[in-house]
Amino acid sequence: MTAPPENRTVPELPPPRHPWAWPAAWVCVTLIFAGSCVFIFNSLRNLPVEAASRTSTALADAGRQLSSIAAAFQQHTVTTSFLSYATRLTPGQYFQFANLRQTEIFSQTDEATTAFGYLPLPGIVVEARAPVEYTYYLDLNDRWELQLEDRILYVLAPSIRYNKPSVDASRIEYEVRKNSLFRDGEHALESLKKSITPLVSQRARENLPLVRELGRRQTEEFVENWLAKSFQDGNRVSARVFFPEETLPAVLEQLAPRR
C-alpha cells in the first residue's frame, strides 16, 4: 500500500496588480494640488481689494462720527444732530432732569362778619399737609439754539416746564388750627380740600428758581456727553446753557424769542 500524500498548505497568491492605479492616484493628487493653488491665488489676489473696501467703509463711518464741530456748524446740522441724539437717549420727546418730592403745608384762614356786616367773627384757620411730587423737564420739540464761540458751545434751551403735580391723596392730613364757637370749621376744611390742586400748581411755579440751576447743570452735562461722542474735537469744547427768562450773552441775545 502506498502512504497517503501529506497535507501541504498552499500559499495564497497576491491579487494581480492593476497597472493604472498609481497613475490615477498621481493624477488626483495633482488636481487637488492645482485646485488649492488656484484658490490660494484668488484669495491673495482679492485680499487687498477686500481689505481696502473694509478700510474705506471704516474710515467713512469714522469720518461721520469724528467730524469737527466747526464743519457741523457750516453744514447747519448741529441742532438737528443734538435733538436726534437726545431723542434716542430720553423717553419720548422730553429731557426730564428733576423729580422733587416734598411735603407741602397749606394754611387757609376763613374770615367772616355778622349778618349786619359790622362786627367781624373770629377767623378759622385750617391746614393741610400733603406729600407732593413735582417733575420738571425740557421739551425737545421746543426751540433750541446752539452757537459755538471760542471752544464754548452756548445753548439757548427752551423754558423749563413741569408736569401736573402728583399729590398722594391717601396721605393728606387736614387739621383745624384755630376754630370758633360761632362758626362751623367743616366748611373751611371743605374749601381747603377744593383748593389743593391750584395750590400745588402754584407751588410748582414757585419752585422754578429752585430747580433752574439743577436743570442747567444736568443739561450742560448732557450736551458735553453728546459733543464727546459725536465729534472728534468734542472733548475740547464745554457747554453753557441759558434759558429765555435770563439775561443772555451777546452770542445768544439775537436768537432769543421775543419776550
Summarize pLDDT for 123-154 with one digit per residue, the tens: 677 788 889 999 999 999 999 999 999 899 99
> Which residues lie closer than 8 Å to 248 by C-beta, 6 or more apart?
156, 242, 256
Residue type, 259: R
The H helix count followed by the E strand count for the chain is: 6, 8
Question: In which domain, by residue range, is 205 found?
Answer: 69-253
Work out how many domains the chain is built from and give that number.
2
Task: Note whether residue 259 is domain-resident.
Answer: no
pTM tops 0.85: no
Per-residue pLDDT of 183-227, as tens digits, reads: 556 766 777 788 888 989 999 999 999 899 999 999 999 999 999
Residues 41 and 133 in one domain: no
208-230 and 185-206 helices, crossing angle to 10°? 30
Residues 46 and 73 in one domain: no
DSSP secondary structure code for residue 66 in this structure: S
Residues 52 and 75 in one domain: no
Task: Note whether residue 130 is domain-resident.
Answer: yes
| pLDDT given at position 238 | 95
Task: Report how far apart, in Å, the C-alpha atoms of 16 and of each of 12, 26, 27, 36, 193 are.
Answer: 12, 20, 22, 34, 115
Task: Note whether residue 114 is domain-resident.
Answer: yes
Which of 5, 39, 65 delimits the end of a domain? 65
Residues 34 and 82 in one domain: no
Residues 43 and 106 in one domain: no
